[in-house]
């Protein structure tokens, strides 16, 4: 005997009628290549789930929205004891990261690995997230501290907020500090 | 796993309601699936859905939003307008392919 559902059949719940919209806010405070990705990847997942998503860039995280640096973020293994490529027999002595050329080499290695996963580079990722509906906010104090002007920042930046404004904006949001 | 009747056809669906058999899909089934989630299919929807199916067939994985934008040339903003809030999942559902597994 075959079981057959009567219409209406099982329909996935896409949350279209969900009461109480979910909201998430990431704070990006780091300017290293490896520390730029976590929030962007999670933001991508949040936006794909229809969650209202904000990213607040502060301190070294400003490098992610600075036109001069957004395409030049770097990865160093200096001070990173977790640098042990799976196929290598030994951990990379982290102190070697201080030698000339090592940061460029490590950056290239990481970029190649990320590209192999079909994950975009940072500038393309920023545009993608913004097109998906993310809002990008620059920290007022960091803007002042680094003598940045609005034209120094990528076009996707929606505005400059002070901390009070960010607190207002992130009311009832889940806040994740990176 | 259950068998459901969609547009007069018996199709296999999983616990959530996603189709599990690629070849059971027809355009009429797609219209019914779309209707189930409140979407009326236009030419713009079909362009995305056909890419979902072709790409899944070619690569064995459902494309992500980024891939639909870059390979099918449909702007990300348009995908969110056509399939509100959760375009990747909704496109997969209507196109009769699994939910995308990739993170990005």
Sign (positive/negative) of CA torsion A46, A51, A57, A58? negative
pLDDT per position as a tens digit, A117-174: 989 999 999 999 999 999 999 999 999 999 999 999 999 999 999 999 999 999 999 9
pLDDT of residue B72: 95
Provide the whole-model pTM: 0.88
Least CB-CB distance to B17: which of A12, A15, A117?
A: A12
pLDDT per position as a tens digit, A68-103: 999 999 999 898 888 877 677 777 788 888 899 999
Q: What is the DSSP string of A13-37?
A: ---TT-SS--EEEEEE---BHHHHH
Task: Name the band, by pLDDT with cuts 50, 70 and 90, for residue A65.
Answer: very high
Residues of B with CB under 8 A from a CB of A: 2-6, 10, 13, 15-18, 36-38, 65-67, 69, 75-77, 80, 84-90, 93, 102-104
pLDDT of residue A92: 78
**What residue of B is the nearest CA neighbor of A10?**
B17
pLDDT of residue A10: 82
A12 contact residues in B (CB cutoff 8 A) = 16-18, 37, 89, 93
Q: What is the ipTM, given to two decimal places?
A: 0.86
* Catalytic annotation present for B103: yes
Q: Of A128, A130, A178, A177, nearest to A157 (Cα)?
A: A130
pLDDT per position as a tens digit, A7-36: 457 888 887 776 568 999 999 999 999 999
Task: Find where tokens 């003598």 sit.
Answer: A147
**What residue of B is the nearest CA neighbor of A52?**
B85
Beta strand B9-13 with A157-161: parallel, antiparallel or unpaired?
Answer: unpaired
Task: Find where tokens 């395409």 sit.
Answer: A71
């Amino acid at each position: 005997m075959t079981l057959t559902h009567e219409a209406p059949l099982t329909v996935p719940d896409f949350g279209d009628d969900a009461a109480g919209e979910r909201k998430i806010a990431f704070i990006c405070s780091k300017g290293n290549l490896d520390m730029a990705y976590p929030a962007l990847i999670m933001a991508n997942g949040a936006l794909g789930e229809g969650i209202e998503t904000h990213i607040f860039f502060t301190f070294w995280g400003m490098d992610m929205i600075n036109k001069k640096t957004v395409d030049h973020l770097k990865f160093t293994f200096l001070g990173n004891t977790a640098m042990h490529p799976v196929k290598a027999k030994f951990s990379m002595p982290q102190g070697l990261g201080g030698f000339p050329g090592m940061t460029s080499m490590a950056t290239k290695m990481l970029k190649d690995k990320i590209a192999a996963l079909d994950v975009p580079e940072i500038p393309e990722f920023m545009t993608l997230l913004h097109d998906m509906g993310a809002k990008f906010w620059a920290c007022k104090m960091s803007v002042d501290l680094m003598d940045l002007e609005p034209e120094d920042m990528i076009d996707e930046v929606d505005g400059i907020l002070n901390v009070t404004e960010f607190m207002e904006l992130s009311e009832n949001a889940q806040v994740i500090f990176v | 796993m259950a068998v459901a009747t969609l547009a007069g056809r018996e199709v296999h669906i999983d616990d959530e309601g996603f189709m599990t058999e690629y070849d059971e899909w027809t355009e009429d089934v797609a219209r019914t699936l779309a209707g189930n989630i409140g979407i009326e299919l236009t030419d713009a929807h079909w362009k995305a859905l056909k890419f979902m199916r072709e790409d899944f067939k070619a690569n064995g994985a459902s494309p992500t939003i980024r891939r639909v934008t870059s390979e099918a040339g449909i702007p990300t903003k348009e995908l969110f307008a056509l399939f509100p809030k959760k375009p990747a999942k909704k496109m997969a559902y209507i196109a009769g392919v699994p939910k995308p597994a990739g993170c990005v």
